[in-house]
Amino acid sequence: MDGRRFSCMMWALLVAFGVALPAAYYAWLMPLEVGDMDPHLFERGIGSPLLAWLNGYLGVLFNYRYLGATNWLVLVPIGMVLATWRRRAPWQRGLVVFYTAALALIGAMGGFNYRYALTLQPLTVATTCVFVWRAFDRKGRSARERGAFVAAMALLGVLNSAASIHYHFRVASVMAAPPPEARPGATLTERLDAGPEDLERWLNAHGVRPTDTVLVNNLPVWYYRTQRPGIYFWCGSDQLFLRDGTHALLAGRSMHEAASLLRDTLHCRYIFSTGELSALSPPFTRFLDEACVPLATDPKGHTLHRVKDTFGR
């Protein structure tokens, strides 16, 4: 393949990856509704095998929703080092091994979590920028061409962010009950403050005494804003976190038995959660529907339930 043809092919690939893939990602690949996906996986953006690769294992490079549109460009210098491995200096090989190992570790251990994927963002961006800069220099391109390319990178990033924000609004628009921070017309404070307002007063108003033990579904705000006793619980993994470790609440128990465990053994009669968190576990939602009485829901979506007594009241 002659140099000119190779160059054309590379440009075509750049356009395909830089523009076509993000366009397809937002237009078709990313679902707006949970459908028949696992709610956990939908929430994390990894509800299908393809999405598990794009947003999960290779999230550092292709999770367009949260990361840049040009992170994948770092694959070019990595590929070049790999293709000329023997001729490369040990430090270049070492860095490629490190970056690849980091990519694999982050991808395997939580690439779907954009915060983990962001770990490599400064290095990815800096490496890509320096590589492009030097590549243009080596090819004898003008400063204008070089500047145009990196400016296009930045512009693509801006457009990608706009598409990402638009996608988040589209998801919220089809939600039956969008969280308060995603509701149309919400103020900045409402969007940023998803926490309960005056938790103590709200609990007192609904009859929860300061000494009542409450099952806290993964809401550490309970311990931060009150001095009240709680039992830490996460419905997503059905685990009670007790003095001697974790125990299941619902697995292997009927609704009646689970209610009895809470009420009679753990001396806990109330459950503090949010509709959004509870919905992540259909068995827990069923438990709330069948074995508990809803007491209150605050404007931010926090819910308070009372476990029914032995007479089902």
Partner 1 sequence: MDERLHFLLVLAITNIGMGGVVAALLLRWNSRLRLPSGAVVLLGLAMGPFLASLLLYHQLLLLPGRSAMAVLGTSVGIVVGLGLMAGRGWTALGRLLRAVPALLRDDVWMRWFAAGTLLMLGIATVLLATKPLVDHDVLEYAVRGRWFLDTLEVTYERHPFDARNGFYYVGLHGHSFPLLFTWDGLWQRFTGATGDLWPRSITLWYTWLLIALVWSVLRQWDRALAFVGVLTMVVPFGFALLLVIHHLDSYRITLFTAMVLLVLVLRERPELPLMLLFGAVLGAQAFIHSTGAILGGVLWMLWLVMHPGPLRVRLVHAGASAALALAFGGVHYVLDTMIGTRWIFKDIIWF
Q: How far is the CB of 241 from partner 1 (least distance, A)?
A: 3
Among 51, 54, 61, 106, which residue interacts with partner 1 (rule: CB under 8 A)?
Answer: 106
Exactly one of 244, 252, 299, 311 binds partner 1 (CB under 8 A); which one?
Answer: 244
1-9, 21-29, 185-193, 200-208 -> range binding partner 1 (CB under 8 A): 185-193
271 forms part of the interface with partner 1 (CB under 8 A): no
**CB of residue 225 to partner 1, shortest distance in Å:** 9
* Residue 224 is a binding residue for partner 1 (CB under 8 A): yes
| Cα 21 from Cα 264, distance rounded (Å) | 56
Q: How far is CA 308 from CA 211, 218, 250, 295, 313, in A?
A: 19, 21, 16, 11, 5
Interface with partner 1 (CB under 8 A), residue from 4, 35, 86, 91: 91
Query: Tokens standing for 282?
Result: 């259909």
C-beta of 150: minimal distance to partner 1 in Å? Answer: 4
Q: Is residue 210 a contact residue for partner 1 (CB under 8 A)?
A: no
Q: Does position 219 bind partner 1 by CB under 8 A?
A: yes
Query: Residue 260 in contact with residue 215, Cβ under 8 Å?
Result: no
Examine residue 105 and tell whether it contacts partner 1 (CB under 8 A). yes
Residue 207 within binding range of partner 1, rule CB under 8 A = no
25: contact with partner 1 by CB under 8 A: no
CB count in 10 Å sphere of residue 278: 21
On whether the CB atoms of residues 312 and 259 are closer than 8 A, the answer is no
- Does the CA dihedral 191-192-198-202 come out positive or negative? positive
Q: Which residues contact 75 (CB under 8 A, 6 or more apart)?
A: 61
Sequence-ordered list of residues with C-beta below 8 angstroms from that of 305, at least 6 positions apart, any chain: 270, 271, 273, 288, 292, 293, 294, 295
Interface with partner 1 (CB under 8 A), residue from 141, 179, 232, 308: 232
